[in-house]
Structure 1
Amino acid sequence: MNIQTNDIGHVIQLSIAPVFLLTGVATKLTVLMNRLARIIDRTRDLKIELRKGPDPDCSEELDVLYQRWRLINYAITASTGCGFLICVIIACLFLGDTTNLPLDRYIAGMFVVAMVALIASFIFLLREVSVSFRYMRIHRHDAPVGPD
């Protein structure tokens, strides 16, 4: 294993784009986790309300929150899979260069799968936002009116 400084420099240059992509995926995961935390907090509040007695509005909102929770979990899973694959791609770039293994097809395949996972994550996020907006649009006139 004879590693040349120029070879390592080239591999580092190749790995910079996936590293930036990984940073974006990590930021997206932060957004998804924040949305999940808000869903969980609201679910807890509604469950406390339901302990006081049956309330069809609370039950309906809980159903919507469970649907949103499921979609956010799918988005988190897809984003995490994407991030994992990006890490493996970076490792394979270095491994392929230091061992002279022909990993280019595997790297390309993993990159395509990572992009499909990222696309799926965005689709799940868009769907979750759509469910949230639809619920808010339906119930926008149900908000209590303040004192006159």
Structure 2
Amino acid sequence: MFSIPAVTTIAQTIQLSLSPVFMLAGIGALLNVLAGRLSRVVDRARAVEQLHPRSTGPEHDRHVWELRLLNKRISVINASLVLAVSSAVMTCLVVALLFVSELIKLHIGTIVALSFILAMMLLIASLASFLLEVRMSLNAIRIRPELLERDQA
């Protein structure tokens, strides 16, 4: 039979769900950073695409190299975004499961725990992808040796 839980029980469930909600805030901040990086990479790719047809020789090769790197970076950022959003969805599911299990007296602690573990694993994978993308971006800003030479004048 369905019974209405006491206010104190609901308050305890809300307290339990605060940690996942803080995690959601952190994931939101990560998504904001990732979206910003994706925007900057796309802008740079568009700028290099405009330069590409007008270039020749070593400059053309450098543009092709940079476009390939930008394309890889876009893929890695996209993967990180998908993983972060998946983590957020799983975290929301954890909060919902906490309330549903309390309201209808389901004993699904193992499912809640596994869902939270999966959310954390997805977040870890997203952060690892983010780190990979940051490392890739460092390759793009290496200063060419010829630009570092002193003028012989």
TM-score (norm 1): 0.91
For 2:110, the equivalent position in structure 1 comes to 105
Counterpart residue number, 1:121: 126
Identity across the alignment (%): 30
Aligned to 2:9: 7
Unaligned runs of 5+ in 2: none
Letter aligned with residue 38 of structure 2: L
**Number of the residue aligned with 1:65:** 70
> Distance in 1 between the 2:81 and 2:94 partners?
20
The structure 2 residue matched to 1:82, chosen from 73, 78, 87, is: 87
Q: CA deviation at 1:93?
A: 0.6
Aligned length: 146
Question: Could you say which residue in structure 1 is the equivalent of 2:19?
Answer: 17
Larger Rg computed on CA atoms: 2
TM-score in terms of structure 2 length = 0.88
Tell me the equivalent position of 1:47: 49
| CA deviation profile, 1:65-102 (whole Å, cap 9, x unmatched) | 11111111111011000000000100111000000011
| Change in 2 beyond 3 A, CA 1:57/1:39 | same
Select the residue among 100, 103, 106 that pairs with 1:95. 100
**In the aligned structure 1, how far is the partner of 2:144 from the partner of 2:52?**
22
Q: Which runs of 4+ in 1 moved over 6 A?
A: none
